[in-house]
Each structure stands twice: as structure tokens, then as C-alpha cells.
């Protein structure tokens, strides 16, 4: 256990460490952990502890891009208490992971391009101190796994993933995830690359596909889009069939569907 000393904000010598019980979690599941405290040289009044779920998001501004952090869930896990000099306290917590939380790990491996984390905020003596970003690895829902597995079987090759600022129709998040693939198999004749976005809920999810369509001899390339819904109580073959139909429609048509 590595305690972080809160000297900059308070000069109090108070130390804190947050330990996650389950660093790998799925959307809709509870994230559990314990916040550990060690008092400094004097007694202090802790006015509250909050846990922030944070994501690093790409923002486009004119011709440039930059990255910034967004807090997409903030929850109080402890109220007011006295922290005696040298005393140790611990506060367990349980936070539900929002259904729309982006994927940051697949099969136990971090997803390249993604950065999600947990920050602990301590209010002490009227000041706030937000700690470092502890990694949070969010695995796909079973229905998301079915779609990702189907893309692998169709020959698509993973390129990278990132978060873009913006709110899509049907979403409550201030950002959305794009999982990018190189087209493979028969789809290389139609697409160069494919971008995949999930908008998940408790009973079903929307899948959004965007592909840059190859141009012909006298035609320019353009983007094709498709959106379909997958219910969690459907069989994996239903999700794969919906994906296949979406890809076929994009190969034939242009514009939003």
C-alpha cells in the first residue's frame, strides 16, 4: 500500500491511499474499493471524500487537437469525520459503473489509446485535494464482446481507440468512444477503415458504424454510416447478423440510416 502525502494543499501531512478491489469491471457492475487514511501531526476535520470516474478525451479546436480530462461520475463515499493525529481510518465504497462507460480493456489487456481512471478527492480544512489518476479497466459487456468478436472473424484488424468530445443521439455522456479498425477480408473492396461506437443501456445497446468508403476512378471517397440495436436477451448470432446487415448496407448506400 502506497500512501500519498497531501502536503501541497494543506501542509497537514495527511496521507491517503485508494485501493480498488476489482480494477476490472463491466458497465452496470459495482466498482468496489477502500480509501485508507493516516493522520498527520495534528487533528483535522475531514469534510468529505468523493470518488471521481475520469476519462481522457480528445477535443478538436479549429485545426488543432488536444486532450483533456472529463469527470463522468462523481460520488460522495464519506461525510464529515475527525482525523486524529497519527490515526488510521478506512472507508469502503461501492460505485455503480455507468452503462455508457467506454471500454478500456479487452480479455484483460488494456485497449490501446484509452485512459480511464479513478481519482479520490479529499476535503480538509476548507480545501480540496484531488489525487492521482488510478487506472480503471472496463471490460466489454457480453453483447459488446459478441460484436467485437464478429469483427475479428470478418477480418477487421484493430487500429486504436479513443474518446471524442460530443454527445450522440440517445447518449447522456459528454463524449463518445470510437474503436477503429482496418478493413479486412471481403470488406477491403468497400472500406479503408471502420469506426465502431457503442451506446449501452441496461437492456439493450445501439451500435454505430462509420466507414470511409473507397472511391472509384471518377468518384471521391466518402463516409458511410449505419446504426442498429442489439438486445441483451438475444442470441449472439442475432448481433452478428445485425452487424453483417449493417456492413452490407454501408457497402451499398451512402448517408445516415
Residue ranges per domain, the chain? 4-138, 142-252
- pTM as predicted: 0.85
Q: Which of 70-74, 134-138, 212-216, 221-225 has the lowest mean pLDDT?
A: 212-216
Burial of 252 by CB count in 10 Å (0-12 exposed, 13-18 middle, 19+ buried)? exposed
Q: Higher model confidence: residue 184 or residue 127? A: 184
- Give the per-residue pLDDT at 253: 67
Do β-strands 4-6 and 88-96 pair in parallel, antiparallel, or remain unpaired? unpaired
User: How confident is the model over 57-77, as a mean pLDDT?
Assistant: 86
In the chain, % of residues over pLDDT 90: 51
For the chain, the average pLDDT equals 85
Neighbours of 85 (CB within 10 A): 13
- The domain defined by 4-138 folds into Immunoglobulin-like (2.60.40)
- Pick from 189, 190, 254, 185: which is nearest to 223 by CA? 254
The DSSP code for 97 is P
Amino acid at each position: 500500500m502506497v500512501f500519498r502525502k497531501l502536503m501541497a494543499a494543506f501542509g497537514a501531512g495527511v496521507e491517503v491511499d485508494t485501493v480498488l478491489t476489482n480494477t476490472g469491471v463491466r458497465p452496470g457492475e459495482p466498482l468496489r474499493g477502500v480509501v485508507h487514511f493516516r493522520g498527520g501531526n495534528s487533528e483535522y476535520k475531514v469534510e468529505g471524500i468523493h470518488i471521481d470516474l475520469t476519462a481522457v478525451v480528445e477535443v478538436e479546436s479549429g485545426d488543432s487537437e488536444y486532450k483533456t480530462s472529463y469527470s463522468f461520475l462523481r460520488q460522495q463515499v464519506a461525510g464529515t469525520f475527525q482525523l486524529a493525529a497519527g490515526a488510521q481510518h478506512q472507508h469502503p465504497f461501492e460505485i455503480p459503473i455507468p452503462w455508457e462507460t467506454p471500454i478500456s480493456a479487452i480479455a484483460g489487456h488494456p485497449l490501446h489509446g484509452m485512459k480511464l481512471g479513478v481519482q479520490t478527492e479529499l476535503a480538509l480544512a476548507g480545501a480540496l485535494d484531488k489525487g492521482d489518476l488510478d487506472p480503471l479497466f472496463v471490460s466489454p459487456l457480453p453483447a459488446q464482446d459478441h460484436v467485437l468478436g464478429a469483427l475479428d472473424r470478418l477480418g477487421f484488424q484493430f487500429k486504436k481507440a479513443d474518446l471524442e468530445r460530443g454527445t450522440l443521439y440517445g447518449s447522456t455522456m459528454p463524449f463518445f468512444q470510437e474503436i477503429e479498425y482496418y478493413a479486412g477480408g471481403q470488406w477491403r473492396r468497400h472500406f479503408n477503415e471502420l469506426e465502431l461506437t457503442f451506446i449501452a443501456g441496461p437492456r439493450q445497446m445501439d451500435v454505430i458504424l462509420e466507414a470511409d468508403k473507397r472511391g472509384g476512378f471518377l468518384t471521391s471517397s466518402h463516409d458511410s454510416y449505419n446504426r442498429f440495436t442489439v438486445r441483451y436477451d438475444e442470441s449472439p448470432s442475432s448481433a452478428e447478423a445485425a452487424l453483417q446487415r449493417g456492413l452490407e448496407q454501408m457497402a451499398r448506400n451512402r448517408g445516415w440510416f
